[in-house]
Amino acid sequence: MRRPRAALLAPLVALLGCDAGISFQGDGGSWAAAPVPPWARQARLVITDNGDDTLAFVSLDRPTPRLLAIVPVGNIPIELEGPHHLAASPDGAAIFVGLSNYVPGSGSGPHGAHGTGTVPGSLIKLRASDRVQLGEAQVDRSPGDVVIASDGKTAFVSHYDLLRLQAQVTKGQPEEMGFSTVAVIDTATMARPPLYPVCATGHGMALSGDEKTLYVACSQVDQLAIMDLATHEVKRVRVGPDQRPPLDPKYGPYTVTRCPADGTLWISCNNSGDVRVYDPKKGAMDDARKVFVNGVPMFSAFLSDGRTLIVPHQGDEKISIIDTVTSKETAVISLPEPVCLKAHAILVMPDDQTAYLVCEGDHVERPGTLVALDLKARAVLGHVEVGLFPDGIALLPAAP
């Protein structure tokens, strides 16, 4: 059963939208501005919980992080809106959360009912200090990943619209009828954004170093979409040599991470259990550099050296440490079952020693966890339970 929401508080939080509070005519009374909780005055992590419509805030304490708060998020307290993935603005002042609207009563996310939303989702902008909602942009069905440009002015939202692909295949329509879109959002206005078709079932995204190109992993068609952000033209590249029909992928590219050293794109492929590499300098996949990790590789992250990739994978619940110059797995960290079930996404801290891993739990009753790791010692430090079915994670600085 899902964790209860603070249903009566959500409308109140939504109303507290201006710093000075809300004034009333007549008796001159007013509601005070939303307070900044004491725990917001420290650096912290924020995590989306798909299954109970909450955000979990967690401390950076070592060895064991502390749960600071679990707060409701969304517009409709009595319905599951599925907060799925998030990103923080570069200055950490705002949080951008995708509301997927594909979890009616199921608590599903990147598995199960993922991609089956029948109504548009949205991207909400929250002030990080007090979680006051600053804006909301309607996007397409089944929003997936969220990426923010380095200047903070633009947000990109992918869409894993499985229903659109299923309809295209069933009806024998042209390929482009099955394409999901990417929303390009002005974060200042949060106006309804343009939607650009890129590929079928797009999910994980990464920007090029110059931020002129957006890369999107297209899971159910074994493709990587490459979008020119000036012209919005899209090129699609197959991530492997074998070709299967849509909805029966051999590789299942789900996430993509850019190497800061050479600009290559490292694609976590769920079905083939490996990480595959696209080289933009060659304009092609580099099959010689793929690394088999076993399990289901998920959202990875690079160390600051630009050559070390940290890849969590599900099924065997492990983390692979990969040297991307030699394309060799150099170490593995095992995750004990009580600590982590369904490893999903990892965040590496600036010191390159500490990392935080989000684990999904069982999606139904067992809460997910946030796991602290010592990458140099190759060891689990500690963990804390968060909400039901967590997935996205972002680092927030201390609020002023």
- pLDDT at position 12, please? 37
CB atoms within 10 A of CB 316: 15
Q: Is the pLDDT of residue 24 over 50?
A: no
* Residue 246 preceded by cis peptide, ω within 30: no
- pLDDT at position 28, please? 53
State the CATH number of the domain containing residue 336. Answer: 2.130.10.10
Residue 346 lies in a domain: yes
Residue 257 lies in a domain: yes
pLDDT tens across 338-369, in order?
Answer: 999 999 999 999 999 999 999 999 988 999 99
Of all residues in the chain, the percent with pLDDT exceeding 90 is 82
* DSSP SS3 for 239: coil
Q: Which two tokens stand for residue 46?
A: 């924020």
- pLDDT confidence band for 389 (50 / 70 / 90): very high
- pLDDT at position 103, please? 56
- pLDDT at position 76, please? 85
- pLDDT confidence band for 108 (50 / 70 / 90): very low
pLDDT tens across 305-350, in order?
Answer: 999 999 999 999 999 999 999 999 999 999 998 999 999 999 999 9
Asked if residues 65 and 57 have their Cβ atoms less than 8 Å apart, the reply is no
- pLDDT confidence band for 33 (50 / 70 / 90): low
* DSSP SS3 for 12: helix
Q: Is the pLDDT of residue 19 over 90?
A: no
Q: Is the pLDDT of residue 36 over 80?
A: yes
pLDDT tens across 155-188, in order?
Answer: 999 999 999 999 999 999 999 999 999 999 999 9
- pLDDT confidence band for 41 (50 / 70 / 90): very high
- pLDDT at position 111, please? 39
User: Which pTM does this prediction carry?
Assistant: 0.90
- Alpha helices (H) in the chain, listed in sequence order: 9-15, 162-171
In our burial notation (b when 16+ CB lie closer than 10 A, e otherwise), range 197-222 reads bbbbbbbbbbbeeeeebbbbbbbbbb
Residue 22 lies in a domain: no
- The phi and psi torsions of 321 (rounded to 5 degrees) equal -110, 120
- pLDDT at position 27, please? 52
Residue 29 lies in a domain: no
Residue 151 lies in a domain: yes
- pLDDT at position 23, please? 40
Amino acid sitting at position 91: D
pLDDT tens across 113-164, in order?
Answer: 566 777 899 999 999 999 999 999 999 999 999 999 999 999 999 999 999 9
- Which candidate, 330, 325, 326, places its Cα nearest to that of 311? 330
Residues in the chain: 400
Q: Is the pLDDT of residue 370 over 50?
A: yes
Question: Which positions ≥6 away from 52 have C-beta within 8 Å?
Answer: 2, 3, 4, 5, 80, 107, 387, 388, 389
Q: Is the pLDDT of residue 57 over 50?
A: yes
In our burial notation (b when 16+ CB lie closer than 10 A, e otherwise), range 292-304 reads ebebbbbbbbbbe
Residue 118 lies in a domain: yes
Q: Is the pLDDT of residue 102 over 90?
A: no
- Which candidate, 324, 323, 274, places its Cα nearest to that of 297? 274
* DSSP SS3 for 169: helix
**Could you tell me which residue, 225 or 11, shows the higher pLDDT?**
225
pLDDT tens across 250-301, in order?
Answer: 999 999 999 999 999 999 999 999 999 999 999 999 999 999 999 999 999 9
- pLDDT at position 29, please? 54
Domain count, the chain: 1
Q: How far apart are CA 133 and CA 162, in angstroms?
A: 29
- pLDDT at position 1, please? 39
- pLDDT confidence band for 197 (50 / 70 / 90): very high
- pLDDT at position 32, please? 60
Q: How far apart are CA 79 and CA 73, in angstroms?
A: 11
- The phi and psi torsions of 40 (rounded to 5 degrees) equal -75, -10
Residue 123 lies in a domain: yes
CB atoms within 10 A of CB 109: 28
Question: Which positions ≥6 away from 391 have C-beta within 8 Å?
Answer: 47, 48, 50, 84, 85, 109, 110, 344, 345, 358, 360
Residues in a beta bridge with 314:
296
Residue 55 lies in a domain: yes
Note down the domain range covering 58.
45-396
